[in-house]
């Protein structure tokens, strides 16, 4: 599936991703409403953009009491607004803290890839974000690892 890939070492914590996300979804430059968050690790001296990874086991979807969080055919984990009661259990279940909440709509939200054109990626000046097919992106590394282990390469 296509995914937002993070190149952490390029992130400067400029937070353009946060404001572009909040503006495109909520119509306001409010980082707290952004679906991508830049976590800062001052001790380790780096920044980590955190965004929904549409996990295979999706704890947010598993815990949703109204089946409002569903996996789409393309693999994306999507919140169905009409079914969401705003209980926030998904926020409590997300281990990355990247499930968010729209106070105005009263529903949970996560990264929806902006209908195929993620605005955070568009506005990431340092190039720390990229929207690409992660299966093919991971393939060279997998093949290299397989070769190193003497396993057949697929």
Partner 1 sequence: MSTKYVLIGNSAAALAAVDGIRKFDKQGEITIVNRETGPAYSRVALPYYVAGEMTLDDLLIRQKPDYQKIGVSLVENENVKAINASAKQVELESGKKVSYDKLLIATGSETIVPPIQGLSSIPHHYLWTLEDAIGMKKAAERAKTAVVIGGGFIGMLAAEALRKLKIKLTIVEMAPILLPQLLDEGAGNLFLKAVRDEGVTVKTGALVSAVAKKGDAIEVTLKSGETFTVDMAVVATGVRPHAAFLQSSGITLNKGVLVNEYLQTNQADVYAAGDVAETKDFLSADRSIYAIWPTAIDQGRAAGVNMTGKRQEYPGSLGMNVVELFNVTLAQLGRFREGPGDSVKMLSSKGSEESYRKVVVDKNGTLVGAVYVGDENGVAEMGVIHSAIKRREKWQGFKDGRQPQFTYGAVMHNVPRY
Which spans of this chain sit near partner 1 (rule: CB under 8 A)?
1, 3, 32, 39-44, 46, 48, 50, 53-57, 62-63, 65-67, 75, 83, 85-89, 91-101, 103, 134-135, 138
Q: Which is nearer to partner 1, 17 or 150 (CB)?
A: 17
Considering beta carbons, is residue 138 or 146 the nearer one to partner 1?
138
Give me the least distance between CB of 111 and partner 1, in Å please: 12
Task: Report the residue number, 42 or 148, with the smaller CB distance to partner 1.
Answer: 42
Q: Which helix (H) or strand (E) holds 145?
A: helix 134-148
Give the count of beta carbons closer than 10 Å to the beta carbon of residue 16.
19
> Minimal distance in Å, beta carbon 2 to partner 1?
10
Q: Which is nearer to partner 1, 43 or 115 (CB)?
A: 43
Minimum Å gap between C-beta 103 and partner 1 is 6
HSE value, Cβ hemisphere, 13 Å, CA-based, for 11? 25
Question: Is 49 strand, coil or helix?
Answer: strand
d(CA 36, CA 23): 12
DSSP secondary structure code for residue 71 in this structure = E
* CA gap 75, 67 in Å, rounded: 16
Distance CA 19, CA 9 (A): 20
Output 23 or 96, the one with its CB closest to partner 1.
96
Chain Cα centroid distance, residue 140: 23
User: Least separation, in Å, of the C-beta of 41 and partner 1?
Assistant: 5
Q: How far is the CB of 118 from partner 1 (least distance, A)?
A: 16
């Amino acid at each position: 599936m296509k995914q937002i890939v993070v190149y952490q070492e390029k992130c400067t914590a400029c937070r353009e991703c946060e404001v572009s996300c909040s503006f495109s979804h909520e119509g306001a430059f409010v980082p707290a409403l952004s679906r991508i968050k830049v976590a800062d690790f001052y001790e380790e001296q780096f920044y980590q953009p955190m965004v929904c990874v549409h996990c295979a086991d999706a704890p947010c979807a598993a815990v949703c009491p109204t089946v409002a969080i569903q996996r789409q055919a393309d693999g994306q984990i999507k919140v169905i607004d009409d079914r969401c009661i705003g209980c926030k259990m998904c926020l409590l279940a997300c281990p990355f803290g990247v499930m968010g909440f729209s106070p105005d709509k009263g529903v949970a939200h996560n990264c929806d890839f902006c209908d195929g054109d993620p605005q955070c990626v568009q506005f990431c000046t340092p190039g720390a974000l990229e929207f690409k097919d992660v299966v093919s992106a991971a393939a060279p590394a997998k093949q290299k690892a397989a070769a190193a282990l003497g396993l057949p390469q697929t």
